Amino acid sequence: MLSPILFKLYKEYLTKKTLQVFEDFRIRRQVIRNLKFVDDNVLLAKEETVARDTLDRLIDIGLYCEMEMNVEETEVMKISR
């Protein structure tokens, strides 16, 4: 039973460490940095290059903490009007 709790703690730590160097993403003056659902994590950025840099930083920090991510299932999506 401890494993899911540890996973969530690690995930939260990795996300905070990753996002502390990037600017905030705002939607109608509301700051939104990421969206979480079970074991999925959505990182938001204004530009595709920033999103890729964020992802690279997340992977590096994860490796430092001995937590591997499945990079084959990881992607950067650009959504625009």
Q: pTM above 0.75?
A: no
CA dist 56 and 74 (Å) reads 11
pLDDT of amino acid 2: 63
pLDDT of amino acid 1: 58
pLDDT in tens, 8-51: 787 778 878 877 777 666 767 777 666 777 777 777 777 888 88
- Cβ neighbours of residue 14 closer than 8 Å, sequence gap 6 or more: 58, 61, 62, 65, 67
**Domain residue spans in the chain?**
2-73
